[in-house]
Amino acid sequence: MKDKIEKPEPHILVIFGASGDLAKRKLIPALYNLALQNLLPDEFAVIGVGRTDLSDDEFQEKMHNAINNFGKREKHEEKINSFVNKLFYVSLDTSNASEYKKLAERLRTLDEQLQTRSNVIFYLSTPPMLYTVIPKYLSGHGLNKSSNGSRRLIIEKPFGYGLQSARELNRDLLQYFDEHQIYRIDHYLGKETVQNVLVTRFSNGIFEPLWNSKYVNRVEVTSAESIGVEDRGGYFDTSGTLRDMIQNHLMQMVGLVAMEPPSSFDSNSVRNETLKVFQSLRPFELMDIPKNVIRGQYVESQIRGEKVNSYRHEKGVAENSRTETFVAIKFFIDNWRWGGVPFYIRSGKRLPTRVTEIVIHFKKTPHWLFGHYQSEGEACNQLVLRIQPDEGILLKFAMKVPGQGFNVQNVNMNFHYADLQNAYVPEAYERLLLDCMLGDSTLYTRGDAVEKLWEFIAPIQKAWDDDPLIPLYGYPAGTWGPESADDLIEGMNMTWRYPCKNLADDGQYCEL
């Protein structure tokens, strides 16, 4: 991980699936943001690749509109025009090996014209079925290797649909690209607030000494969405929350929370430490899954007076679907630092608010002097690392209420990213694209870690497939999931933290 932002070497970025949503909503606006900050090399170009027959001018016009529609920074017509002039387009059938000759010729021409030193990134913004097809055909035309530059491959999740398919994907990719060339992108790791987990831990002497089983009661990770599946019902019904959110985004955050201090902040050191966490996950026994893993599916409800459909009535969803829209899991990390500390993760759709956060629940004091004034849950200090929205950090601790006696009340000490004057928080794809150009894979997922996480999830998938008696709980849209998810939490009067959209005034004012 670089200590300071630097400008990368000349590059050509090839985006397969350039006419799709990801390119226009995220990738092109992110590149434009980098251009605004003067972080793109002067010798830079994008080649969009797709089946749609477009000229360079037509592609540039489409991406010009995309920046205006989806870009979140200031729109300068002159700067947009300057940026889109670096965009080019090649129409080809990605399933036809012979057509890659057109791409090879365009790359060679632009490399000579722009002097990009044969540095090329291939971004697969395509259906997963093409994740091995495209690298194979790139290799067939010698585009995976360069005698004097770098060749890198970015692929989006899903990195397989289970342990076996993940292993097969890794095996196939490694036939055509070396591991150091492969960048598996998880946009959650590109979020500024996720990276701040590492800084909060390792640069503060008040936190790191407490970051272990001696002082931590439990760790909780929540990623909630207030929306349903929207127009993704067809895709989501074949995936579900376990595959779509738990196996990747939430478990990657667990890796950052639980890892040991790396020897340095280079790519291998950081990713080696997160891998050790995944290797230490206590495997699930099939008989224990029903009481440690809760799954649910939202049902019809009313939210603010409006009727909300059940999941099974969403477009593209099977009428008798048993796909989970909510998952809560209790698990353990069996190593020296975390032995005996329960970790709880949950994610779901149609919950009360959109929020992602990590909560460290500290143990109560050894002698509970003020037990008459506090519940056990209130006696546990909390450190809340808010990923989104209202990004920041919240520390909850007890104070005496003024007046006679020792009435105790929890109070908040908080920091908001929004309080940093003139601080620009980059979008996740912005950071990750720049890192790839710099050859920094710290915030990308490595193949062995992907397989370890699928290995952890595999018993859950098998139990759900093999045992129809494991409940799929219904929960009304707009609630915090099945009530049985509360039963996972250990301890008297202990429960999940139920966050609000706003971070700091959660106990007084909650905007849902």
Q: Along the 512 residues of the chain, how does pLDDT read in single tens digits?
A: 555 567 899 999 999 999 899 999 999 999 999 999 999 999 999 999 999 999 999 999 999 999 999 988 878 899 999 999 999 999 999 999 999 999 999 999 999 999 999 999 999 999 999 999 999 999 999 999 988 899 999 999 999 999 999 999 999 999 999 999 999 999 999 988 898 899 999 999 999 999 999 999 999 999 999 999 988 898 899 999 999 999 999 999 999 999 999 998 888 999 999 999 999 999 999 999 999 999 999 999 998 889 999 999 999 999 999 999 999 999 999 999 999 999 999 999 999 999 999 999 998 877 666 555 555 556 678 899 999 888 889 888 877 777 766 777 777 888 888 787 677 778 899 999 999 999 999 999 999 999 999 999 999 999 999 999 999 999 999 999 999 999 999 876 788 998 888 887 665 556 55
Structure tokens at 452: 């370890």
Using one digit for the tens of pLDDT, what is the confidence trace for 367-403?
666 555 555 556 678 899 999 888 889 888 877 777 7
Instruction: Please tell me the pTM assigned to this model.
Output: 0.93
In angstroms, what is the C-alpha Rg of the chain?
24
Return the pLDDT at 493. Answer: 75
Amino acid at 290: P
Structure tokens at 266: 């280079």
Reported residue count of the chain is: 512
Q: What is the pLDDT of residue 401?
A: 74
Catalytic residues: 249
Question: DSSP label at 333?
Answer: B
Q: Rounded to whole angstroms, what are the CA distances from 369 to 165, 218, 224, 363?
A: 54, 22, 36, 14
The answer to whether 459 and 467 are in contact (CB under 8 A) is no
